Amino acid sequence: MLDHTLVKPTATRSDALRFCEEAKRYHFCAVVVLPYFLPLVVRELEDTDVKPCTVVDFPFGAAGIHAKLSESRRAIGEGARELDVVMNIPAFKSGDEATVQRELEELVNAVGVAGMTQGEHRVLVKVIIETAYLTDQEKARATEIVRDSGADFVKTSTGTAPTGATAADVLLIRRLVGQNMGVKAAGGIRTVEQAMAMFDAGANRIGTSTGAALAEAYDPQAYLSGTR
């Protein structure tokens, strides 16, 4: 249920290798990295239960559909099993919902075709709506657009905005997408208590750069007994 995430601009090759080793040790769901590190991560995670994932049109989603499609196809060709795609935030804030919806629908369709062409397993698409920049009404509308695009997950945040995931946002998103779509909480999740609050609110995936620390700190018995 954890995506071990390394998307800071100062990340190094050594950091990426360490994240892969930690993810394999704790059997995290995926390692999420910038596109530059994707080939390295694909090699390091080969024949493991951890999936290589990269970001697309990160962090603002404003490069347009051609950039989104190009990045996605390249990532799939390099071995990505999941894509964390940023919704076109400026278009959405401008009220241009048609562009946002069209971009996401085209991307989801293209990813499906590219995945089949490469002969790989189906590639998951997680769409980041960046809740920090949205009102509650905008969060709801963005969630509906992502839901209707055919994407696999609605994701709260990139981790680069002033604020990240909140339990209230996860609750809102889960209510709108129902139980058959993924909800990923990300941004600022650094403690076991924060992680459990997201899961309790309805998240079924968490993105964090502190996955190893969370795994080491989590004691189920202590948490349930309230001693932690």
Catalytic position from the list 68, 126, 139, 184: 184
* DSSP three-state, residue 46: coil
3, 51, 68, 84: which is the annotated catalytic residue? 84
41 three-class SS: helix
4 and 211 Cβ atoms separated by less than 8 Å: yes
By the 8 A CB rule, do 82 and 124 touch? Answer: yes
Q: Does the annotation count 84 as an active-site position?
A: yes
Active-site hit among 68, 139, 155, 169? 155
Q: How many angstroms separate the CA atoms of 107 and 9, rounded?
A: 25
Asked if 82 and 50 count as a contact pair (C-beta separation under 8 A), the reply is: no
Indicate if 136 belongs to the active site.
no
CA distances from 99 to 14, 144, 169 (A): 39, 14, 24
Nearest to 177 by CA among 203, 196, 200, 210: 203
- Integer CA distances (angstroms), 91 to 54, 63, 86, 165, in order: 23, 11, 12, 22
Residue 8 among the catalytic residues: no
Catalytic positions, written as ranges: 84, 155, 184
